[in-house]
Amino acid sequence: MARVLKCSDCGRTPKVTELAPMLHDSVWRKLAGSHEMLCVQCMFTRAAARDIYLSLASLQPCDFNLMCSPVSWFELFASVEMRPPANLDAWRTAAAEVPNAPAALTREEPSLWPNSPRGERRFVRASA
């Protein structure tokens, strides 16, 4: 029998598009217990209440953070960053296993983010 996941805060069973991103364990432990599950709304509410800034560095480089539609968690957080993450290679490794991963992660591309010290530009998802 499949286990039904419910948000530990609001008690709702979120749709896949309402699930919070996969965070590094050290970040998650600031927001929730190891066995808690949060919908995206409750995750951001807890982060604000606890004054925890979530950034691309907070996310685990994994397929879940690359697949959500219409915009992946990676794309959402990367769109506000001013430079590529320190773990860009880990994101590219994760993207190699994901169909329709952001194009900038599936090939060597010199420019990804706007206003970075290297003059990189914002990436866009390749059209299907």
pLDDT digits (tens, 9 = 90+) for 85-103: 888 889 989 988 888 777 7
Q: With CA atoms as reference, report the closest residue to 43 among 77, 4, 87, 84.
A: 77
Percent of the chain that is helix, strand, coil (3-state, to 5): 35, 5, 60
Long-range pairs for 117-126 at CB < 8 Å and ≥24 separation? 117/83, 118/83, 120/83, 120/84, 122/79, 123/75, 123/78, 125/75, 125/100
pTM equals 0.75
pLDDT at 26 over 50: yes
Alpha carbon distance 104, 5 (integer Å): 33
pLDDT digits 0-9 by tens, 51-86: 999 999 999 999 999 986 678 899 888 888 877 788
Confidence band of 120 (pLDDT split at 50, 70, 90): very low
Q: What is the pLDDT of residue 90?
A: 93
Confidence band of 31 (pLDDT split at 50, 70, 90): very high
More confident site: 90 or 108: 90
